[in-house]
């Protein structure tokens, strides 16, 4: 998926929030930081570091700022009840995060991630879904708290959080960004709400960002995504790695997969991301019959740090907590289940009329 958040650019340096001392973060935070560093291996860090000494990165950052326009009109509202005529009480879903959660770049509510997910959820579970979107364009992880406070007022059953892109562009220290995200997950889990987090997308897929800045953007994105995975699963949530989910298609069909600003996803781009997220949302709610992991697909049980590293490298990978012989933890830390689920309606462009079961149908608030 494209960058999450207000249109901007990736700079090698920028405003920072003060990172907490390592001794305050505890062993799990330190583990997340180590995993983030390992996940970044092989992403061009050496070449990018060498180029930084020549000022190339600064010049590319300035060029990216000139190329990528600032956010203009807000995304369409998508709140309401989807599948209102279906039997049973509505299931309440909230969508939190930044512009990738809000659906910036599309013009119809049925094209927003919230609408796509709510419609798919309603049709798969055969019950109404009440959607509340609290995501804010331009939000960074420290901005999740007021969104969570608003979400708790509607007693959510499930929350979908998409965050991280703006933390990368603003160079928020990963440990600090992850701490804010974990606070949000814990607050929601504390009231029994299931939480699915789409981890930081790969900003290296954004066309206006050129190498070597692109290599650094990919490295920073992968570091944050791995750290988010470890921390969210430890806090009781589920994660889906978005990574370079759309990368190959963005390269092949940039006019279709990008919105007008060449920075955020198009309607088709959001449909692909929603298709990756929906199976995990259903699983978190107990709405699908779990199949046995397929070893040929690279699925199975790993230590959480290993699962996070692998998920950061392979977009569309789900990570959740599990047990081995009745134990939550092993020598390498918490056990985690790694899955690569079949997507629903991948690549389908939202249509006005009814189609087969797909997260791309329009809701009927």
| Residue 107: per-residue pLDDT | 87
| List 98, 167, 244, 264, catalytic entry | 264
| Residue 290: per-residue pLDDT | 61
DSSP 8-state assignment for residue 143: G
CA distance 183 to 34: 20
Q: Render pLDDT for 1-37 as a digit per residue (tens, 0 to 9).
A: 444 333 333 333 344 444 444 434 455 555 555 555 5
135 occurs within a structural domain: yes
28 occurs within a structural domain: yes
| Residue 157: per-residue pLDDT | 98
| List 99, 100, 115, 221, catalytic entry | 99
Say what the pTM is. 0.76
228 occurs within a structural domain: yes
CA distance 156 to 75: 22
117 occurs within a structural domain: yes
362 occurs within a structural domain: no
Residues of the chain with pLDDT under 50: 1-25, 38-43, 46-54, 296, 345-365
CA distance 362 to 353: 8
141 is annotated as an active-site residue: no
1 occurs within a structural domain: no
| List 261, 266, 283, 303, catalytic entry | 261
CATH number at residue 226: 3.40.50.1110
CA distance 89 to 280: 22
76 occurs within a structural domain: yes
Segments forming the whole domain that contains residue 109:
24-339
Give the residue carrying structure tokens 């889906």.
Answer: 240
Secondary structure of residue 271 in the 3-state scheme: helix
In terms of DSSP H, where are the helices of 83-212? Answer: 99-102, 113-125, 144-152, 165-169, 174-189
CA distance 6 to 330: 41
CA distance 59 to 54: 10
Name all contacts of 15-21 with Cβ < 8 Å and 24+ positions apart: 15/170, 15/171, 16/170, 16/171, 16/172, 16/173, 17/142, 17/172, 17/173, 17/176, 18/176, 19/173, 19/175, 19/176, 20/175, 20/176, 20/179
244 is annotated as an active-site residue: no
Instruction: Write the secondary structure of 57-113 as one string of H (helix), E (strand) and C (coil).
Output: HHHHHHHHHHHCCCCCCCCCCCCEEECCCCCCCCEEEEEEECHHHHCCCCCCHHHCH
325 occurs within a structural domain: yes
132 is annotated as an active-site residue: no
Total of domains in the chain: 1
């Amino acid at each position: 998926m494209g960058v999450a958040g207000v249109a901007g650019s990736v700079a090698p340096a920028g405003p920072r929030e003060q990172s907490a001392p390592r001794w305050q973060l505890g062993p799990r935070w330190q583990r997340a930081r180590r995993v983030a560093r390992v996940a970044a291996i092989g992403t061009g860090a050496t070449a990018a570091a060498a180029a930084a000494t020549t000022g190339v990165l600064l010049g590319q950052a300035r060029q990216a700022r000139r190329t990528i326009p600032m956010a203009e009109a807000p995304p369409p509202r998508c709140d309401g009840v989807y599948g209102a005529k279906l039997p049973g009480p509505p299931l309440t879903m909230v969508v939190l995060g930044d512009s990738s959660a809000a659906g910036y770049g599309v013009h119809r509510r049925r094209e927003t991630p919230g609408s796509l997910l709510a419609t798919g959820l309603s049709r798969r579970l055969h019950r109404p879904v009440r959607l509340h979107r609290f995501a804010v364009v331009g939000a960074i992880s420290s901005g999740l708290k007021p969104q969570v406070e608003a979400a708790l007022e509607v007693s959510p059953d499930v929350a979908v959080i998409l965050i991280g892109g703006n933390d990368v562009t603003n160079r928020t220290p990963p440990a600090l960004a992850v701490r804010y995200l974990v606070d949000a997950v814990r607050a929601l889990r504390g009231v029994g709400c299931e939480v699915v987090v789409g981890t930081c997308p790969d900003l290296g897929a954004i066309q206006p960002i050129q190498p070597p800045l692109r290599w650094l953007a990919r490295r920073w994105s992968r570091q944050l995504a791995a750290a988010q995975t470890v921390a969210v699963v430890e806090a009781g949530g589920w994660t889906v790695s978005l990574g370079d989910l759309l990368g190959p298609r963005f390269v092949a069909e940039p006019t279709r997969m990008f919105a007008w600003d060449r920075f955020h996803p198009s309607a088709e781009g959001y449909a692909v991301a929603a298709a990756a997220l929906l199976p995990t949302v259903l699983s978190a709610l107990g709405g699908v019959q779990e199949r046995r992991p397929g070893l040929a697909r690279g699925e199975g049980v790993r230590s959480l740090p290993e699962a996070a590293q692998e998920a950061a490298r392979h977009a569309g990978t789900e990570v959740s907590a599990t047990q081995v012989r009745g134990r939550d933890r092993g020598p390498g830390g918490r056990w985690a289940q790694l899955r690569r689920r079949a997507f629903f309606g991948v690549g389908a462009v939202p249509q006005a009329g009814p189609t087969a079961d797909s997260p791309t149908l329009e809701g009927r608030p």
